[in-house]
């Protein structure tokens, strides 16, 4: 059973003192836009991330120097036993693309944040500029699951893949993006197995050339 958390769980409450509570189904892009219109700064980095708040909190989503952990106060989660628990920022153990939520299999219901006041026009311009940079550097014209591999400490996954001669490498309908080697794109008819096999090949080649093991940033559901 797969449950999509979206419509019906996308309420945002914004107080006058910059405290914001949002449900897990809220689009990160929509939330960034709402906060900008209210003159609350510190969430512009999320304006182009194609996901919802629940996933963003669970993996401590980040881009362009900002992360969820920079502004979150607490999160309400559902445990595997069905208990609703509020976890403070320090209890969330937020780190690079990781959290206690992922480690223990919790489900995010909502999260509370705190933001400082800023200039609405300047914040909206920042979102616009970051989205422009994203379009220029990332293969948004093709379907993908976003950044495919985590950033290895001291390296950049995309550069390692490019330097391994894998730019444009194809397996079935899956391809290492020529625009940004950190993305595996669907050129039209890729299967999940195409993507998985391509990732395995990339991981093996990068390790053979540089001794660095790439870890997937994408999640796999089912058996492969």
Which entry of 74, 99, 144, 147 is annotated as an active-site residue? 147
CA distance linking residue 156 with residue 136, whole number of Å: 18
Active site residue 217: yes
Residue 114 appears among annotated catalytic residues: no
Cα 9 from Cα 1, distance rounded (Å): 19
| Backbone torsions φ then ψ of 27, nearest 5 degrees | -65, 135
CA distance 162 to 196: 18
> Residue 44 and residue 40: Cα distance in Å, rounded?
9
97 is catalytic: yes
Q: Are strands 19-23 and 107-114 parallel, antiparallel or unpaired?
A: antiparallel
Contacts of 185 (CB under 8 A, 6+ apart): 139, 142, 143, 144, 174, 175, 177
Q: Which residue among the candidates 97, 151, 167, 196 is catalytic per the annotation?
A: 97
Catalytic pick from 33, 167, 197, 217? 217
Task: List the catalytic residues.
Answer: 97, 147, 217
């Amino acid at each position: 059973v797969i449950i999509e958390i979206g419509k019906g769980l996308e309420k945002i409450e914004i107080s006058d003192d910059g405290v914001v509570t949002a449900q897990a189904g809220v689009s990160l892009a929509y939330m960034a836009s709402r906060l900008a219109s209210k003159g609350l700064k510190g969430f512009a980095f999320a304006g182009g991330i194609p996901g919802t708040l629940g996933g963003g909190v669970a993996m401590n989503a980040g881009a362009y120097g900002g992360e969820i952990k920079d502004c979150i106060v607490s999160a309400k989660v559902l445990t595997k036993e069905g208990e609703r628990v509020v976890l403070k920022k320090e209890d969330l153990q937020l780190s690079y693309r990781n959290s206690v939520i992922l480690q223990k299999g919790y489900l995010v219901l909502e999260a509370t944040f705190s933001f400082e006041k800023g200039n609405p026009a300047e914040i909206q311009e920042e979102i616009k500029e970051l989205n422009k940079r994203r379009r220029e550097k990332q293969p948004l014209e093709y379907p993908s699951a976003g950044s495919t591999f985590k950033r290895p400490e001291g390296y950049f996954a995309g550069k390692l893949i490019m330097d391994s001669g894998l730019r444009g490498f194809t397996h079935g309908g899956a391809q290492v993006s020529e625009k940004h080697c950190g993305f595996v794109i669907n050129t039209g008819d890729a299967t999940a197995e195409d993507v998985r096999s391509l990732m395995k090949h990339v991981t093996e080649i990068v390790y053979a050339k540089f001794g660095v093991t790439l870890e997937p940033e994408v999640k796999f559901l089912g058996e492969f």
